[in-house]
Amino acid sequence: MSIRNRFDEQLEVLNSHLIELGTFIEQIISLATMALIELDPTLVEKVIEVDNEIDLKEKEIETLCMKLLLRQQPVASDLRLISSALKMITDMERIGDQSHDIAKISTFLNDKEYVKQITKIPQMAEATIKMVTDSVNAFVMRDLDLALSVIEYDSVVDGLFGEVRRELIHLIKTENDKGELALDLLMISKYFERIGDHAENIAGWVAYAITGEHKDA
């Protein structure tokens, strides 16, 4: 097998690691959302487990990328691919941390009924999951249009954040004793909004890997 073929094979391994990490990310966002809606402490435990898996996977991918940089001294699209992967996993790991934070805050919440009413938060979760999935797919398929659509899609998450915020302002105004709950939920929705930004960054790196140009976020 030629050196180039071996290199291509290792790039395939990098792809599959990123797909696995992407799957963990989708999982952790879903789990954190469920932990929030169900206010179920066992789900929080699961979030912590998946977050640990994400950290391990990030290290594994980082090691692989360093090995490829060292051994292959890649240039051009190969260099962009590997350096983008290194940047992407940092954003992915941050999504894991923020999902973990969401799950932790959910343990302080005690008003299950009200939390259920804020339907925009699960919508934010859904939107960010879609963004992460599409970013990883765009990376693996080298699909620039898909990456660019993810960057566009962040405005959906930002819009939802604005709506949640307005609902929470209304809550504080109308129910004096719900101030603490409103703040916790605001933080949670802010974490989702940040997750959207990380997903947008990931898509930005995918676009860079393909074109060599940075898209302004």
Partner 1 sequence: MNKISIQNLNLWYNDFQALHNVNLEIEENNITAFIGPSGCGKSTLLKTLNRMNDLIEGCRVEGKILLDNVNVYKDMDVNLLRKRVGMVFQKPNPFPMSIYDNVAFGLRTHGIKKKSELDNIIEKSLRDAAIWDEVKDRLKKSALGLSGGQQQRLCIARALAISPDVLLMDEPTSALDPISTNKIEDLVLELRKNYTIVIVTHNMQQATRISDHTAFFLLGEVVEYSRTTALFSIPQDKRTEDYITGRFG
Min separation Cβ 86 and partner 1, Å: 15
Min separation Cβ 81 and partner 1, Å: 10
Measured distance CA(40)–CA(91) in Å, rounded: 27
The string of DSSP letters for 184-217 reads: HHHHHHHHHHHHHHHHHHHHHHHHHHHHS-PPP-
Measured distance CA(95)–CA(97) in Å, rounded: 5
34 or 209: whose CB is closer to partner 1? 209
Question: Within 194-213, which residues bind partner 1 (CB under 8 A)?
Answer: 212-213
78 or 197: whose CB is closer to partner 1? 78
Min separation Cβ 1 and partner 1, Å: 13
Q: Tell me the per-residue interface mask from 2 to 41 with partner 1, x by CB under 8 A, - otherwise.
A: -xx--x----------------------------------
73 or 176: whose CB is closer to partner 1? 73
83 or 137: whose CB is closer to partner 1? 83
Residues 6+ apart with CB under 8 A from 213: 207
Measured distance CA(25)–CA(20) in Å, rounded: 9
Min separation Cβ 4 and partner 1, Å: 5
Q: Which part of the chain contacts partner 1 (CB under 8 A), choosing from 1-9, 24-32, 36-44, 45-53?
A: 1-9
74 or 122: whose CB is closer to partner 1? 74
6 or 112: whose CB is closer to partner 1? 6
Q: How far is CA 19 from CA 7, 15, 23, 79, 140, in A?
A: 18, 6, 6, 20, 8
Min separation Cβ 135 and partner 1, Å: 21
Rounding to the nearest 10 degrees, give the CA dihedral for residues 11, 14, 15, 20. Answer: 160
Number of residues this chain uses to bind partner 1 (CB under 8 A):
13
Residues 6+ apart with CB under 8 A from 136: 18, 19, 21, 22, 202
Q: Angle, to 10 degrees, between the axis of helix 76-106 and the axis of helix 41-72?
A: 160
Question: Within 67-86, which residues bind partner 1 (CB under 8 A)?
Answer: 73-80
Contact 34, 43 (CB under 8 A): yes
Residues binding partner 1 (CB under 8 A): 3-4, 7, 73-80, 212-213
